[in-house]
Amino acid sequence: MRIIILTLAFISLAFSSQYTFLVKEYDKEIDLEAKIIVKIAKNSIKDEIKLFIPNISDMEKNIYSKYFTLSESCES
C-alpha cells in the first residue's frame, strides 16, 4: 500500500510542473525580451521610457508594463 501511495505521489509531482503555468499565463521569452529592451533604453536615454507596441496581447501588456510606460499610439 505504501508503494502505491509513494508511486502516485511521485507521479503527481512529476506532472505538477506542467500545470503551474496554467494558473497565470506567463512567457519567459517575452519577459527576457522586455528586460533586454529596458536595459538598452535606460543606457541610451535618461528620460522616462514610453513604448508603443502595435497589436500587443494582454500577456505582453502585463509583462511590458512592469518595465515601461506603454503608449496607446506611436505619436505619444
Q: Please list the rounded mean pLDDT of every run of 10 residues in the chain (76 residues).
A: 72 59 63 83 77 84 84 81
How far is it, in rounded angstroms, from Cα 38 to Cα 64? 9
Burial class (CB in 10 A: 0-12, 13-18, 19+), 63: buried
pLDDT confidence of residue 11: 67
How far is it, in rounded angstroms, from Cα 66 to Cα 63? 6
C-alpha cell at 39: 536595459
Burial class (CB in 10 A: 0-12, 13-18, 19+), 51: middle
pLDDT confidence of residue 18: 53
pLDDT confidence of residue 46: 74
pLDDT confidence of residue 10: 65
pLDDT confidence of residue 17: 56
Q: Where are the domains of the chain?
A: 24-76
Rounded to the nearest 5 degrees, what angle is found at the Cα of 17, between the Cα atoms of 63 and 7? 170
